[in-house]
A and B are shown apart, each in its own frame.
Chain A
Amino acid sequence: MKNCNLCGNCNLICPVFRLHRKETRSNRNKAFICKEGTPTSEAYSFLLDGSIKTACPAGIDVDEVLIKLRSHLILRGRETPANKELIDNLRRYKTPYGKKRKDYPGLVT
């Protein structure tokens, strides 16, 4: 992340930024959080859509860094309750929603 200078090129194709036109939760905001490096629940506020790596002129894979930040949170038992529930649901029901797949007739798998 040292090579990221927050140039903002990643916001050019950021789906969140294009929709809301707000810096918050945009690709660059994600890069900023990763650059700060402090594992907080903020790490769960961003998409992991890969667009940031495509647009980054320095080729930085910020999503990879964010995944590591999330891992730190889980190891320290500081993940968000929502994430914990989602993971439990995936393990138990194979869906993130807390019900078995067969109970979701429209679910694309």
Chain B
Amino acid sequence: MIDPLRAIFGPERVTENERDLIAYSYDASGQKQIPTAVVFPKTADEIRKAILYCNRINASLIPRGFGTGTTAATIGSKAIILDMTSMNALYNLDKSARTADLEPGISLASLHSYLQKNGLTFPIRPYIKTHTTLGGVFARNDLSPGSYRLGRAIQHIKQLEYLDGTGKHYSLKDNFDRVVGCEGTTGIITRIIISLESVFTSTASITAYTDKDALLQAVSSLKRRSDILSIDYLNKKAATAIGLPHSHHLIIEYYSNAGDAREPADVNSILQKRDGIYDVLRLKGYQYWEDVSSDDILHLITICEEDDLPCFGPIGLSTLFFCYTQKDILLRSALHDLGLHADMHLGSAFGYGRTKKNYVPHDTKKKIIALKQEYDYGNILNRGALIDFR
């Protein structure tokens, strides 16, 4: 297998060395699957050639960024791993049009810091702060606190280039959902023009509720307002962890002056509580996170209360993150069972990958199967993730 790959990528950018294969056998999911080879493309044409080669030998090709996903979407046994992190160019930043033309291997952290220096921002900052690439953000169609108003990652694309499972190149100006949110199963993104926002000032409030009904009423009345940027919830246990009173809390960010905190330092201090909760809970031993969505948010809050788990997240988007320690393995598997039967949905924020493919909604499955039949009939792209195809 290695010689044809060397012919495409050159000897330096292909490996089947055991040490390298082990290093690419894991991500943050706790799973381990040893690939056959790892390649490091620098151009879309190299990826195209790799796709054609995989079609010839019927091998799976798995695009991977920093491999920090929690659902084993970027690992696979007997697969060729396409490490996209060398494709990290920023071709152009158009300040007046507020767009950036990028390759998908760019680190989200470097992008944020570069944009900040230029007075712009890309509003997607995933909740679970991991070292991620822009490609990963679009593969999962990530959400962040501001997604309540500004939408998920897909809402911030102007133009997108990708290769399908036959090596054909596409440049899209709409219908991005053909590839975004599909976790590399329908296409490999090679270039993206993203839309940016100017750095804006917001105001914020943090409010405590002793009663769950009062909390839910407050959420529903906040949802009727038009000046809300984000509505985030912290349950009693999560609030206590960050030094707040033992109550349910809402952290609300406003576009307008409606927030109690208006001075930038005060606003930051509130938002840092929201953004810092991941770090605090990790230090307390919470290392597993489940993203759970439901229209019945009271049910989610009650589960966490009964199981004595911290939880937080974008209640405005009907999604909460449940936090587990290693000792909570039974509670976690109980939630996985419940997710299959109850009116709730797991995986909508952190992706489905291989570990959560049982939770992929029927419509999404149908869409991906249809796209696979048309654009990746050989099932080359990320075989085994999200769906079982052919």
Q: Which residues of B contact A44 (CB under 8 A)?
A: none
One digit per residue, 1 when the CB lies within 8 angstroms of any chain A CB and 0 when it does not, for chain B 83-95 equals 1011010000000
Which residues of chain A in 44-85 are interfacial with respect to chain B, using CB atoms and an 8 Å cutoff? 45, 57-59
Interchain CB contact (< 8 A) of A57 among B23, B86, B109, B279: B279
Q: Which residues of A contact B131 (CB under 8 A)?
A: 7-9, 11-12
B287–A5 contact, CB under 8 A? yes
> Does more than half of chain A's interface fall in helix, strand or loop, or is it mixed?
loop
Name the CB-closest residue of B to A5. B287
Q: Which residues of B contact A25 (CB under 8 A)?
A: 23
For chain B, the count of residues having a C-beta within 8 Å of the partner chain is 31
State the CA gap A8–B130 with chains docked (Å).
7
Which residue among B68, B83, B88, B285 has the maximum number of chain A CB atoms within 10 Å of its CB?
B68
CB within 8 Å: A-B pair count: 71
Q: Which residues of A contact B148 (CB under 8 A)?
A: none
State the CA gap A45–B279 with chains docked (Å).
29
For chain A, the count of residues having a C-beta within 8 Å of the partner chain is 23
Which residues of chain A in 1-35 are interfacial with respect to chain B, using CB atoms and an 8 Å cutoff? 2-9, 11-12, 21-26, 29, 32
B109–A22 contact, CB under 8 A? no
Name the CB-closest residue of A to B85. A21
State the CA gap A24–B17 with chains docked (Å).
10
Report if B135 contacts A (CB, 8 A).
Answer: no
Since A11-B131, A32-B26 are in contact, a sample of 10 more A-B pairs with Cβ atoms closer than 8 Å, ordered by chain A residue number, is A2-B326, A5-B287, A6-B30, A11-B66, A21-B40, A22-B23, A24-B23, A26-B23, A42-B19, A57-B282
By a beta-carbon cutoff of 8 Å, the part of chain A in contact with chain B is 2-9, 11-12, 21-26, 29, 32, 42, 45, 57-59
